[in-house]
Amino acid sequence: MTYVAKSQKELRTEGGSLAKKLATELALIDTELDALAAADLGIVTLTAGRIMVGNASNVATDMDVTGDVLLSDGGVTSINTGVIVNADISTNAAIAFSKLATLTSGNILVGSDASACTSVAMSGDATMNSSGVIRTAVVAEDSVNGGIPLTFMIGITASTDATLNVDVVSAYKIRVLDAHVILRGAGVGSETLTIQNAGNAITDAISVAGSDTAIVRAAQINDANYEISAGGTLRVASAGGASRPAALVVVNAVRVA
């Protein structure tokens, strides 16, 4: 069957309303299309989850969706496994830390012997807590590894009160190993500075009677008092003179158990 459209004259002379005439013609067209589909095109089938793609010969062909994206038979796309590489991620992606794998509290990421990114705890001469605070490790006497020293720099301002003390609260248990004073101005005759564990002397009385820029080292360390408990007071005590000169007191210590 081949549909042939009626002329204007034929439609005019045909009985019935215009609407009825148009309905009849449209029904004939539908019948023709159905016949064409069945006879010429056939019933088009498509494998579940595949799409029609024009091939190199410009022929519509049933193909799988492959590569970076997959397609389900419900029309849902998904990213294929293992296809995303560094170059695929935008420099402006601003990926949130919450999207990363979990990391044990206080641990850091370190490249392993196999060049793999590995979660490890900082150890050795220093440790780190979950707030990112690094603490020097405890140094044992006779240790063959040694350790990291702690240096306290205690500023002393010039004062007419020659008996003022300057206190520092130590966060760790420490052992004081050395101390010296750097004068930041003219010294004061008879004035001394003593490093103390609270009120107990660690060093001898260090004279600060010298001239500006002079360095004076403690001559003695009292091993009965040189260990200060965590939260204890490292004190610089002034005495002896008419006033106190400006100076920087440098105390070297190590953490101990």
Encode pLDDT of 215-253 as tens digits.
999 999 999 999 999 999 999 999 998 999 999 999 999
pLDDT given at position 31:
81
Greatest extent of the chain over all pairs of C-alpha atoms, in Å: 137
Report the share of the chain in percent with pLDDT over 70.
96
Mean pLDDT for the chain overall: 90
Encode pLDDT of 32-68 as tens digits.
777 766 655 555 678 888 898 888 988 888 888 888 9
> Which fold does the domain 150-255 belong to in CATH?
Jelly Rolls (2.60.120)
More confident residue, 90 or 41: 90
Encode pLDDT of 170-221 as tens digits.
999 999 999 999 999 999 999 999 999 999 999 999 999 999 999 999 999 9
Separation between Cα atoms, residue 66 and residue 94, nearest integer Å: 29
pLDDT given at position 1:
56
The amino acid that residue 2 corresponds to is: T
> Domain extents for the chain?
8-41, 103-137, 150-255
Distances (CA, A) of 219 to 153, 162, 167, 168, 206: 19, 22, 21, 22, 8
DSSP letters, 49-109, are: TEEEEE-TTS-EEEEE--SSEEE-TTS-EEEPTT---GGGS-TT----GGGSPP--TTEEE
pLDDT given at position 26:
85
